């Protein structure tokens, strides 16, 4: 039983290491990108990044709104940016 477990762990170790590399690469990419920052207003985001491709209605309380841009989405609480999320599998050009 112990040998089987050890063999499985050894086989999975390279997969875990490659996942770490992918996550690190994505973090480095985001650091080089111009994205809406936390705390900006909707007006600031629209002035700096243009109109979103799609605006979603507010959900919940406090109201959370999502604006979708090419390659990322911006989430607002009331009028303030909470965070920006990259679309899965989509690379955005860096500034």
Determine the average pLDDT of the residues in 5-33. 55
Residue 32 has pLDDT above 90, yes or no: no
pTM > 0.75: yes or no: no
Using one digit for the tens of pLDDT, what is the confidence trace for 70-91?
999 999 999 999 999 988 765 5
Q: Find, among 46, 81, 76, the residue nearest to 63 by Cα.
A: 76
Note if the bond before 63 is cis, omega within 30 degrees: no
Residue 21 has pLDDT above 90, yes or no: no
Write down the mean pLDDT value for the chain: 78
Determine the average pLDDT of the residues in 17-31. 53
């Amino acid at each position: 039983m112990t040998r089987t477990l050890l063999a499985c762990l050894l086989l999975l170790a390279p997969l875990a290491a490659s996942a770490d590399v992918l996550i690190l690469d994505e973090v480095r990419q985001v650091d080089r990108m111009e994205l809406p920052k936390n705390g900006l207003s909707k007006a600031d985001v629209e002035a700096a990044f243009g109109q979103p491709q799609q605006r979603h209605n507010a959900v919940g309380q406090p109201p959370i709104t999502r604006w979708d841009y090419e390659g990322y989405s911006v989430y607002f609480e009331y009028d303030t940016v909470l965070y920006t999320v990259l679309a899965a599998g989509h690379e955005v050009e860096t500034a």
